[in-house]
Structure 1
C-alpha cells in the first residue's frame, strides 16, 4: 500500500488546512500536513517542552480523546492513509480513527466543526492501533467524495505526518471545463526532481498565489560547467494544454536565457526511471527566449502537440530562475 500514483489530498501544498484542534499543547497540528519529511532536532525545546515535528497534544486525564478537523483544498476521494509517527517514540498516539464528510460550497468552517450542522459524517478508517516511529498504512473504508476530515487520537499523543492518498474530484459540470491550470498544486501537480535548487525549490513554480520574491520561485546556482539545468513535474492525471505561461517576476539579472518543455504520458513507473527517461520525452515547446521580470505566454501556434500527458520536463538554458509555470488546459 504505497499509493505512489496518487496525490496526498490533505497536504498543505494543495490548500488543505486544520480548521479546529482540541489540543496542540506540545506541537502545532498544522505540521502534520506539511509535504516535507519529519525531522528531529536534538536540542530544540520551546516553552512547553521538546519541540516535535508533527501534531502532539498534552496527556489527557479525563478519559476523552483529542481530535482535529481538516478542510481539504478541493473535494477528493480517498484510497488510503499513511499515519507517520517518525520520531514519536514514548509520545505517539496508540490509536487513531478518521471520518469524512462532504459539504456544499459556501458552508463555513464553523458549521463543520459543529458536527450537528453536518448531516453525515462517515467512517473512512475505524479505530486502529498504530505504532511509534513507524509508517502505519491503512486502506480507506469509503470512496465517497469528501471536503473535510475529522482525525481522532485515542486518547492523546502525537503523529508526525498524515498522508491521505486519493484523487481530486471533478464534478460532472466541470469534466469538460477548459481553461484551468492543470500544472498547479491546487490541481494536484507536484515536483519530482530538479538537478539544482540552490536558491529556490522547483515546487514553488506550482504555487497559485502571486510570486512574493525571488525566494518564491525556482532558482539554480550559476552554472560553470557545460550543459543546462532542468526539472521534472508530475500532473495529477492526464491533461491537454492550450496555453503555457512562464512568469519571471523578480528575476532580473538571473532569469534563464531560454527554456524548453517536453512531456510524456506515463503510468506505473518508478520516479527514478521517469527522471532518467525524461531526456527523450516528446517536445512540447522548442527553446524560447525569456525576458526579465515579466509574464511570457505561448499559445497553440507555439505548442507542438495536443496529445495527453502526465509529466513535464522543463529545461532552462543555461541556468537561472523562474517564478511560476502554468499550463492552461483541461484534464481528460
Structure 2
C-alpha cells in the first residue's frame, strides 16, 4: 500500500469528521464534502436555487466583491496529513480556479472563532474541473482541523484528507482499547482479496451500515481461504476479539481463526477455527499472553465480515512510544498547552526519552 491515497481519510464522516463552518453554501451544502460515498450527478434536477450538485457550492463572488470562500473541517481522526484530494467531480463550469489549504492543532473542542495558529499545508494551487486534484503534503505536524480556501468561489464535490492517525494517548489509558481501530492507528497491511469491499472497512467506528460497509471477498472455487493482516496501533497483548457479520446472511464465513505476530512474519494462534453465525456480533476471549504487533484474520473459506475489534493492553514500551510520537507531532502551541495542563514546563522537541513525562501526561 504505497499510494498515499490508500491511507485512511482523516476527515470522512464515518470516522467522525464534521464540517464546522463555511463562508457560504448557497447552492450546495458544505456537509457533502466529507460524505463517504463517491459523488453522483443527476442532470436536470433543479431546486429553486438551480441544478442540484452533490458537493459544496458557493454563490458567484468573482467581480462582485473581494475575498474568497472557505470551509473549516474538524478531523474525526487527528493525525499527520500526507495527501489531500480536492475532488471537483461534475463541477465543470463552476469549479474554483485554485485552492489553498491550512491546518491547525487544538486541544478539546474549540469553536471556529477560537481556532488560531493556522499554518499552510498546500499553497495556492490551480484546480481542474471534473477530476481528482491530489496534493502531496510534507508536514510532520499532527493536526485536528483543516481550512480549505477556494479561489474565488465555486464547487467542490469531496475533500479527502489522507494521512497517518496519531491518537491522543491520554484517551487510550485506563479504558478498553481497540488495538485495530482506524481511529486509534490500526491499519490493514495486506489481504488475499477485496473484490466486493476492502478489509479496511472492518476497522471503521460504529456498526456496519450495510453489506458493502464491511469486508467481502469474491466466491472461492479452490481449496484455499481468504485472509487479511492488520497492523495494531501499538504492540500489545490481545485479550478479546469481536467479529461482526452484520448484514451478511447468505455470504458470511463458515469459520474464522486469528493469529498473532511480533513483526508480521512468524505467526502463532490466538483463536482456533471457530464457526460463525449470520448477521451476528461474536465475542471471543483469546488465550494468547504474548505481545503482538500484527493480527491475521483467516476467513474460511470466504465471505463477509462487517466489523473487527481487538481489545487488549499495550505494553509499557508501547505506551511510551505512543506518547513520544504524539508529543513530538503536536504543533508548538498545543504542545506547550498540553505540558502546562500536566504541570510540566516546556521541553525542547523532539523528545527522545519520555519516561519522566508519561505519568503526569496520562494522569
Q: TM-score, normalised by structure 2?
A: 0.67
**Cα distance in 1 between the residues matched to 2:138 and 2:220:** 53
Deviations, residues 119-160 of structure 1 (Å, cap 9, x unaligned) = 422222232222223433334364332211111111101223
Gap change, CA 1:304 and 1:295, over 3 Å in 2: farther
- Tell whether the 8 Å contact from 1:205 to 1:217 is kept in structure 2 after alignment: yes
Residue 12 (structure 2) aligns with: 11
Higher relative contact order (CA 8 A, sep 6+): 1
Deviation at 1:18, TM superposition (A): 0.7
- Tell whether the 8 Å contact from 2:231 to 2:293 is kept in structure 1 after alignment: no
1:325 to 300, 308, 312: 308
Residue 84 (structure 1) aligns with: 87
Residue 118 (structure 1) aligns with: 115
**Cα distance in 2 between the residues matched to 1:190 and 1:32:** 24
Residue 158 (structure 1) aligns with: 155
1:102 to 101, 105, 109: 105
**Cα distance in 2 between the residues matched to 1:326 and 1:42:** 38
Residue 45 (structure 2) aligns with: 45
Residue 298 (structure 1) aligns with: 284
Task: Could you tell me which runs of 5 or more consecutive residues in structure 1 were left unpaired when the two chains were aligned.
Answer: 268-277
**Cα distance in 1 between the residues matched to 2:147 and 2:136:** 16
Please list, as runs of the form range in 1=range in 2, the aligned pairs for 1:57-206 lying within 5 A after superposition: 57-60=58-61, 61-105=64-108, 107-108=109-110, 111-112=111-112, 114=113, 117-140=114-137, 142-171=139-168, 173=170, 179-189=176-186, 194-195=193-194, 197=196, 205-206=202-203
> What RMSD in Å do the two structures reach over aligned CA positions?
4.0
Deviations, residues 172-196 of structure 1 (Å, cap 9, x unaligned) = 5568878421333433556787556
Q: Number of residues paired by the alignment?
A: 308
- Tell whether the 8 Å contact from 1:206 to 1:325 is kept in structure 2 after alignment: yes
**Cα distance in 1 between the residues matched to 2:119 and 2:198:** 38
Q: Secondary structure at the residue paired with 1:288?
A: strand
Deviations, residues 261-287 of structure 1 (Å, cap 9, x unaligned) = 4578899xxxxxxxxxx9x98765431
Task: Could you tell me which runs of 5 or more consecutive residues in structure 2 were left unpaired when the two chains were aligned.
Answer: 319-363
- Tell whether the 8 Å contact from 2:98 to 2:127 is kept in structure 1 after alignment: yes
**Cα distance in 2 between the residues matched to 1:283 and 1:22:** 54
Matched, 1:288 2:274: yes
- Tell whether the 8 Å contact from 2:18 to 2:75 is kept in structure 1 after alignment: yes
Please list, as runs of the form range in 1=range in 2, the aligned pairs for 1:244-259 lying within 5 A after superposition: 244-248=241-245, 255-259=252-256
Residue 324 (structure 2) aligns with: none
**Cα distance in 1 between the residues matched to 2:73 and 2:163:** 15
Gap change, CA 1:203 and 1:74, over 3 Å in 2: closer
Once structures 1 and 2 are overlaid, which stretch shifts more, 72-81 or 257-266? Answer: 257-266
Residue 275 (structure 1) aligns with: none
- Tell whether the 8 Å contact from 2:166 to 2:185 is kept in structure 1 after alignment: no
Q: Secondary structure at the residue paired with 2:292?
A: coil
**Cα distance in 2 between the residues matched to 1:316 and 1:28:** 44
